[in-house]
Amino acid sequence: MADRVHRGTVFGTEAAAYAAHRPGYAAAAIRWALAPLGPSARPRVLDVGAGTGKLTEGLVALPVQTVAVEPDPAMLAELTARLPQVEARIGTAERIPLPDASVDAVLVGTAMHWFDPHRAIPEFARVLRPGGVFAPLANVVDDRVDWVAGYAVAAGGLPSHRNNSARRPVRHPGFSRFELAEFPHTQRRTAAGLVATVATHSDTLMRPADQRAAKLNRLAAYLRGRPETEGEFDLPLVTLAQRARLEPA
């Protein structure tokens, strides 16, 4: 558990780079996640493990009330600087600083692997109103594209369309059967930007400086050898989404 907490707060020193280089989420995936709520008037949506607000900014583009909860103060400060209209609180998935039955949906963006599911999912159920939605989302690179498959390997094994845990079904007796959907997505990038993105990954940040530099140099060399990554280009991504509703007690 201590390692999970340490790794989950390692990003704070790179909060600005994280905000600059990490991708947002496919708008269609966010709309799909919230669709079971129906045309309710501005549902209240909680983004847990919100980081610098990559998923949050997709929520504020919709007619919803957004609450962001994040354990790392530096990451949350970056979020509030970029999205001052969002209600933002320090907290964890295992101890959400909200009252019972206070939100209509709980969304998680590429953060479920940081949580203790035995404590976090019951906490999601606690803050959800009856019939509310829980939806974890994750961005993965689309390694069905040849150069992207090579990029995933050169970057040290990125979560990808073929190789990821985000498609593994979530199960909890408090929720209905989880549905899974995937949505094509892209991010406008440069080769230097991709290297900078990988530099924000926890596996990179936690390496000794020499190993970190060697990893990033290998990645830069791979990208220099691919014509697809000259100048600006679209990085093919897929947003994977699951959703389920809170069952009546």
The span from the CA of 23 to the CA of 185, in Å, is: 9
> What's the burial of 51, exposed, middle or buried (CB within 10 Å: 0-12/13-18/19+)?
buried
Q: How many residues does the chain have?
A: 249
The three state secondary structure string of 9-59 is CHHHHHHHHHHHHCCCCCHHHHHHHHHHHCCCCCCEEEEECCCCCCCHHHH
Between 167 and 77, where is the model more confident? 77
**DSSP, residue by residue, 130-182:** EEEEEEEEEEEE-TTSHHHHHHHHHTTS--BSSS-STTSPP--TTBPPPEEEE
161: left (phi over 0), alpha (psi -120 to 50) or beta: alpha
Residue 234, SS3 per DSSP: strand
Residue 222, SS3 per DSSP: helix
Residue 207, SS3 per DSSP: coil
Between 19 and 119, where is the model more confident? 119
pTM > 0.75: yes
Query: Do 151 and 222 form a contact (C-beta atoms < 8 A)?
Result: yes
pLDDT surpasses 90 at 223: yes
Residue 238, SS3 per DSSP: strand
Q: Tens digit of pLDDT for each residue in 32-41?
A: 999 999 987 7
pLDDT surpasses 60 at 9: no
pLDDT surpasses 90 at 116: yes
126: left (phi over 0), alpha (psi -120 to 50) or beta: alpha
Q: Tens digit of pLDDT for each residue in 22-33?
A: 999 999 999 999
Between 12 and 131, where is the model more confident? 131
Q: Tens digit of pLDDT for each residue in 93-110?
A: 999 999 999 999 999 999
Query: Do 86 and 113 form a contact (C-beta atoms < 8 A)?
Result: no
- Mean pLDDT across 204-231: 93
pLDDT band for position 207 (50/70/90)? Answer: confident
Place of tokens 């558990």: 1
- Could you give phi then psi for residue 217, rounded to 5 degrees? -65, -40
Q: How far is CA 139 from CA 24, 55, 106, 158, 212, in A?
A: 8, 10, 17, 10, 23
The pLDDT value recorded for residue 5 is 41
pLDDT surpasses 80 at 3: no
% of the chain at pLDDT higher than 90: 77
% of the chain at pLDDT higher than 70: 94
Tell me whether strands 179-189 and 233-245 are parallel, antiparallel or unpaired.
antiparallel
pLDDT surpasses 70 at 10: no
pLDDT surpasses 90 at 16: no
The pLDDT value recorded for residue 137 is 96
